[in-house]
Amino acid sequence: MLLGTPSGTARFHPEIRMITGYERLAPAYNRAGENRAVELQDYWVILRKRWLSIGVFTLLGAALAVAASLATTPLYEASTQLYVSVKTGDSSSDLLQGSNFTRQQVTSYTQLVNSPLVLQPVIEDLGLEARTSALSSRVSASSPLNTSLINVTVTDENPAIAAATADAIAKQFKTVIADLETPTDGGASAVKISIVRDAVAPEGPASPNLKLNLALGLLVGLALGVGIAVLRAVLDTRVRSDADVARVTDTSVIGVIPNDDDAPEHPLIVQSSPHSQRSEAFRRLRTNLQFLDIADRPQSIVVTSSLPGEGKSTTSINVAITLADAGTRVALIDADLRRPSVAKYMGLEGSVGLTTVLIGRANVEDVIQPWGNGFLHVLPAGQVPPNPSELLGSLAMARLLEKLTEMYDVVIVDTAPLLPVTDAAILSKLTGGALLVVGADKLHRNQLAESVGALETVGARILGIVVNRQRRTQSDQYAYYDYTPTPATSADSGRTSRKKRKNPSTGRLPQVPESTSPAAVSGPTTLWPGDSLSETQLKDFQRQQAQNSPQHQRPSS
């Protein structure tokens, strides 16, 4: 049975949860709606859900990197290397002092490479059309740590010019250092600059590096795609599954109806396609409703939603049909006096109905209409009144509900959404409880919380939540499970034609004896659960029962 909670919601007994598969419908984690930290599994779910957009961003980053590389002018680098030495004595102390001196001077010499004192003569000798500042931006000098070496690198669009410029800078640098280090007395300079490696024209460009740029583009695109996917998931407040419902309320999710793109064209899915996944989902919802608190099972149920277009009317109709198919006497009332749709969906006359009864112009027995196998009766909305809320909250409505609950096993009331109007909240107090339909990908979590709060404010009993049109992928649990009958095993002549099976041993069609009468192969065996017997089928069934019953002979006297 259901366990009562202070908020007036319904909770299943653990055994019932196991029998009905409730643990699949409402995840065990965060069932009370408390906030929880995002776990690694949540990120994995986000990546699986947004893999297409992440892949697009990754490819876009790679494409931009390749385009930028192709649009960039190739640059070539040529390097030369210089060695700095000092003329000293032969003693070890002189050698140590000379080594320390060169290391200290090398740091200053690297700064002189880009000076106009070195570059201006190079520009004049090579006839370069560039200023000193422009050439300085393409020349770099560095010295490895704790060495007396100086590396001079020149970058240019022409590899030959880059190598020639590097060699010219090395030669001019030797001349400049020799002039700067010449003693004032006119002696020879103690510092010697030697070119240990001449510049060579490079065969390939140093930039752009296509492979490096491609790798960076892929990484940047991937990071951007993952970041946007996580941000969308964090900022997305839409209710997309039963797990999102559990983040808002601890109300039990008693049904999950899968999405079907053809649902608007086939609202009565239980009748038009009785073996589809949506039909089976409505039957599971019927089962869960039958497991509601046995001691206090509601005989009247209000079916509502938060916003229009979430599928409350089609849910009401299909649940009523499944209950009637199980042999339950059901009365379906269209109490949406603003936008009635039950009569249109079920093909009934809707000009007279609930409003006609409430204003006293007709009795309910005169306007309620049978539908289907006779266990379902429908009371349309009738004319749209100017005061729907007042009519639904009147004493006449309460008496009507009391009368119908005495006449039928279950009374289902389809009413207007909760957030736009107060009709559903009013009727929830007059009935045994409310069933809240949540449209997946349509409703936001704050709207769902507001709807639950509206019912709890008036003290209404929330029987459960039905998540409608939930999209399921092949990776979701039970998404692959499809047990619809094949044409060869279908027995419903009104839905699928029966195909003759071949004998597996001979491969021939089985022969029916000529003496077999039509009555022997016809009858109620071609019916599906919930179908009603026609007069012909009923007579055939009675004839078979009479033939199969044992013949008792009267004993002789």
Q: Would the pLDDT of 276 be above 70?
A: yes
Task: Determine the Cα–Cα distance for residues 403 and 331; give it in Å rounded to an integer.
Answer: 11
Once rounded to an integer, what is the mean pLDDT over residues 315-330?
95
Among the residue ranges 162-171, 172-181, 186-195, the one predicted with the least confidence is 186-195
pLDDT for residue 107:
83
User: Higher model confidence: residue 426 or residue 233?
Assistant: 426
Mean pLDDT check: name the lowest of 59-73, 166-180, 518-532.
Answer: 518-532
Least trusted range by pLDDT, from 45-59, 245-259, 291-305, 488-502: 488-502
- Would you state the pLDDT for residue 95? 58
Please state, for a pLDDT cut of 70, what percent of the chain lies above it: 74
Whether the per-residue pLDDT at 473 is higher than 80: the answer is no
3-state secondary structure of 301: strand
Answer whether 438's CB lies under 8 Å from 445's CB.
Answer: no
Judge whether 105 and 191 are in contact, CB under 8 Å. Answer: yes
- What type of residue is 114? N
Q: Which residue has the higher pLDDT, 129 or 296?
A: 129
DSSP string, 104-153: HHHHHHHHHTTSHHHHHHHHHHHT-S--HHHHHHTEEEE--TT-SEEEEE
Give mean pLDDT, residues 436-445.
93
Task: Of 88-97, 121-130, 187-196, 240-249, give the lowest mean pLDDT range.
Answer: 88-97
* Residue 172: pLDDT over 60: yes
According to DSSP, the residues that pair with 221 across neighbouring strands are: none
Query: So what's the pLDDT on residue 138?
Result: 92
Say yes or no to pLDDT of 23 above 90: no
Lowest mean pLDDT segment, chosen from 187-191, 236-240, 241-245, 403-407: 187-191
Average model confidence (pLDDT) for the chain? Answer: 80
- For residues 532 and 292, give the distance between their C-alpha atoms in angstroms, rounded to a whole number: 28
Reading phi first (left if > 0) and then psi (alpha if -120 to 50, else beta), residue 249 is in beta
* Per-residue confidence (pLDDT) for residue 476, from 0 to 100: 54
Task: Say if residue 183's pLDDT is above 90.
Answer: no
535 vs 516: which has the higher pLDDT: 535
Most confident option among 8-22, 307-321, 498-512: 307-321
Which secondary structure element, helix H or strand E, spans residue 410, and what is its range?
strand 410-414
Question: Is the pLDDT confidence value at 88 over 70?
Answer: no
**191 pLDDT above the threshold of 50:** yes
Residues in the chain: 557
SS3 470: strand
The yes-or-no verdict on residue 223 having pLDDT over 80 is yes
Is the CB of residue 153 less than 8 Å from the CB of residue 78? yes
The pLDDT of residue 195 is above 80? yes
Q: What percent of the chain has pLDDT over 90?
A: 51
Confidence label for 97 from pLDDT (cuts 50, 70 and 90): low
Q: What is the dihedral of CA 257, 259, 262, 263, to 10 degrees?
A: 30
pLDDT band at 543 (very low <50, low <70, confident <90, very high): low
Helix (H, G, I), strand (E, B) or coil at 192: strand
Element (H, E) at 272: helix 269-272
**CA neighbor of 406 nearest in space, from 317, 332, 319, 299:** 299
Confidence of residue 37 (pLDDT cuts 50, 70, 90): low
Span 69-91, average pLDDT: 84
Between 430 and 86, residue with greater pLDDT: 430
First-to-last alpha carbon distance for the chain, in angstroms, is 61
Q: How confident is the model at residue 545 (pLDDT cuts 50, 70, 90)?
A: low
| Per-residue pLDDT band at 38 (split at 50, 70, 90) | low
66-70, 190-194, 245-249, 344-348: segment of lowest average pLDDT: 190-194
On the question of pLDDT at 282 being above 80, the answer is: yes
Which has the higher per-residue pLDDT, 204 or 531? 204
Q: What is the C-alpha to C-alpha distance for residues 320 and 330, in angstroms, rounded to an integer?
A: 6
Alpha-carbon distance of 33 to 303, in angstroms, equals: 23
377-390 pLDDT per residue, tens: 999 999 999 999 99
Q: Give the model's confidence band at 49: pLDDT under 50 very low, under 70 low, under 90 confident, else very high.
A: confident
Reported confidence tier of residue 11, pLDDT bands at 50, 70, 90: very low
Residue 156, both tokens? 């240019």
Mean pLDDT, residues 326-340: 95
Which of the residue ranges 177-186, 204-213, 219-228 would you say has the lowest mean pLDDT? 177-186
Position 94 scores a pLDDT of 59
Kindly report the backbone phi and psi dihedral angles of residue 363, in degrees, each rounded to the nearest multiple of 5, phi listed first. Answer: -90, 155
**Section 455-483 average pLDDT:** 77
Q: Which two tokens stand for residue 28?
A: 């065990």
